[in-house]
Structure 1
Amino acid sequence: MDEQAGIDAGIQHYYSSVFDEDARLTTRSAQSALEFIRVQELVGTRIAAGSRVLDIGGATGIHANPLAEAGHRVTLVDPVEEQVVKAQRHGTFHAEVGDARQLRFADNSFEVALLFGPLYYLRTAEDRLKALAEAVRVVAPGGWVFAAAIPRFIHHAAVSLGNIPPKPYPQAWVEVLESGTPAPSGRFPAGHFHTAEELEAELQAAGLTAIELHAIEGPAGFALERLPNDEALLQAALTLVRRTGHLTAIRDMTNHLMAIGRV
Structure 2
Amino acid sequence: MTDVDTPSLRPEILAFYARGQEHARLRSGGHRLEFLRTQDVLRRLLPPAPAAVLDVGGGSGVHAEWLAADGHAVTLVDPVPLHVEQAAAVPGVTVLQGDARALARPDASVDVVLLLGPLYLPERADRIRALAEARRVVRPGGLVVAATINRFAGLHDQLRKEVWFDPALRPRIAAGTADGRHRPREDGDFTTAYFHEPADVPREFAEAGLEPCGQYGLEGAAWLMGGVEAWLDDPERRAAVLEALRLTESSPALLGVSGHLLTVGRRPPG
Task: Name 1:31's counterpart in structure 2.
Answer: 31
Amino acid paired to 1:132: L
Contact 1:31–1:225 (8 Å) recurs in 2: no
TM-score, scaled to structure 1: 0.88
Deviates more, 1:141-150 or 1:223-232: 223-232
1:60 aligns with 2:60: yes
1:224: Cα distance to partner?
A: 6.4
Paired residues for 1:22-171 under 5 Å: 22-26=23-27, 28-32=28-32, 34-49=33-48, 50-120=50-120, 122-161=121-160, 162=162, 170-171=170-171
Write the distance in 2 (CA, Å) between the matches of 1:225 and 1:129: 38
Deviates more, 1:172-181 or 1:98-107: 172-181
Write the distance in 2 (CA, Å) between the matches of 1:12 and 1:225: 33
Aligned residue for 1:67, secondary structure, equals: helix
Amino acid paired to 1:192: Y
Distance 1:86 1:169, change over 3 A: closer
TM-score, scaled to structure 2: 0.86
Deviates more, 1:94-103 or 1:246-255: 246-255
1:81: Cα distance to partner?
A: 1.0
Task: Name 2:263's counterpart in structure 1.
Answer: 259
Distance 1:218 1:126, change over 3 A: same
Write the distance in 2 (CA, Å) between the matches of 1:112 and 1:225: 35
Aligned residue for 2:193, secondary structure, equals: coil
Deviations 1:194-226 (A, max 9, x none): 010011211121122142111112211244697
Write the distance in 1 (CA, Å) between the matches of 2:212 and 2:263: 10
Distance 1:72 1:178, change over 3 A: same
Amino acid paired to 2:176: V
1:247 aligns with 2:251: yes
Contact 2:46–2:112 (8 Å) recurs in 1: yes
Task: Name 1:208's counterpart in structure 2.
Answer: 210
Distance 1:133 1:164, change over 3 A: closer
Task: Name 2:3's counterpart in structure 1.
Answer: none
Write the distance in 2 (CA, Å) between the matches of 1:173 and 1:48: 40
Contact 1:30–1:234 (8 Å) recurs in 2: no
Contact 1:150–1:255 (8 Å) recurs in 2: yes
Aligned residue for 1:248, secondary structure, equals: coil
Instruction: Give 5+ residue unaligned stretches, structure 2.
Output: 1-6
Q: How many residues of Structure 1 are paired with residues of Structure 2 in the alignment?
A: 255
Task: Name 1:8's counterpart in structure 2.
Answer: 10
1:87: Cα distance to partner?
A: 0.7
Aligned residue for 1:63, secondary structure, equals: helix
Amino acid paired to 1:194: H
Distance 1:179 1:249, change over 3 A: farther
RMSD (Å), alpha carbons: 2.4
Write the distance in 1 (CA, Å) between the matches of 2:93 and 2:65: 7
1:86: Cα distance to partner?
A: 1.0
Amino acid paired to 1:155: G
- The runs of at least 4 aligned residues of structure 1 exceeding 4 Å deviation read 163-171
